[in-house]
């Protein structure tokens, strides 16, 4: 299972946690074991103002997986041109019928973000045959407490590459057992885990 460092861009500043202290590019680890750096661009997601110039700088030393909330095909092209090798699309922001158009022009890995809090219905509806996997925002407790979602989640992990955004490093073993492809763990938490041993 991959553990991918997650950084945020908020108000044009890099952060190691959503409300964490500001980071500088030279403070980022050279390369993770998984070989990627997940960039969650809050400016792009919330205000449709992706930080393309920052992706360009980051892509000089990092393999970028960008979650910037693109709204249309041109936004995706801009993110790819800025250096992303993987992109997360948000179902509530991007028209799913356009996903196949992306796959026709690029080999960039495309993932769909979904949130289990809003997805009590079949998660399979979130998957298009042309995406590479899912990024799910939830916590393990939510899955454990709902048998139906738990079974569906396990099925999705067997069928697709599923990555989970996790806030607590103690839950990594739970995700390993359930069969996810990887965990997105914010950089501040990763640094804390490294210090603690």
172, pLDDT greater than 80: yes
* pLDDT of res. 126: 53
- Whether 85 and 63 have beta carbons less than 8 Å apart is answered as yes
The residue among 196 and 23 whose pLDDT is bigger is 23
pLDDT class of 185 with cuts at 50, 70, 90: very high
Look over the chain and give the mean of its residue pLDDT values, rounded to a whole number.
85
CATH superfamily name and code, 2-196: Aldolase class I (3.20.20.70)
* pLDDT of res. 114: 80
* pLDDT of res. 139: 67
Residue ranges of domains in the chain: 2-196
197, pLDDT greater than 50: no
The residue among 166 and 182 whose pLDDT is bigger is 182
108, pLDDT greater than 50: yes
* pLDDT of res. 50: 98
Q: What is the pLDDT of residues 70-91, one digit of tens each?
A: 999 999 999 999 999 999 999 8
- Residue (of 158, 104, 115, 119) closest to 138 by Cα position: 115
Distance CA 194, CA 188 (A): 10
* pLDDT of res. 122: 44
Q: Return the percentage of the chain with pLDDT > 90, whole number.
A: 46
Task: Please state the rounded mean pLDDT for residues 123-151.
Answer: 74
54, pLDDT greater than 70: yes
């Amino acid at each position: 299972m991959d553990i991918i460092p997650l950084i945020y861009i908020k108000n044009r500043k890099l952060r190691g946690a959503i409300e964490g202290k500001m980071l500088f590019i030279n403070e980022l680890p050279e390369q993770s074991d998984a070989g990627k750096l997940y960039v969650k661009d809050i400016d792009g997601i919330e205000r449709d103002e992706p930080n393309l110039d920052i992706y360009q700088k980051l892509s000089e030393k990092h393999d970028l997986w960008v979650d910037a909330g693109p709204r249309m095909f041109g936004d995706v092209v801009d993110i790819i041109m800025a250096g992303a090798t993987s992109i997360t699309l948000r179902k509530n922001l991007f028209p799913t019928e356009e996903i196949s158009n992306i796959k026709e022009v690029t080999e960039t890995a495309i993932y769909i973000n979904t949130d289990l809090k809003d997805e009590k219905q079949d998660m399979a509806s979130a998957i298009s045959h042309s995406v590479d996997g899912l990024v799910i925002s939830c916590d393990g407790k939510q899955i454990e407490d709902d048998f139906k979602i738990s079974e569906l989640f396990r099925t999705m992990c067997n069928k697709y590459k599923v990555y989970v955004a996790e806030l607590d490093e103690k839950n990594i073993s739970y995700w390993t057992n359930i069969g996810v492809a990887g965990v997105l763990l914010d950089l501040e938490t990763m640094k804390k885990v490294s210090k603690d041993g």
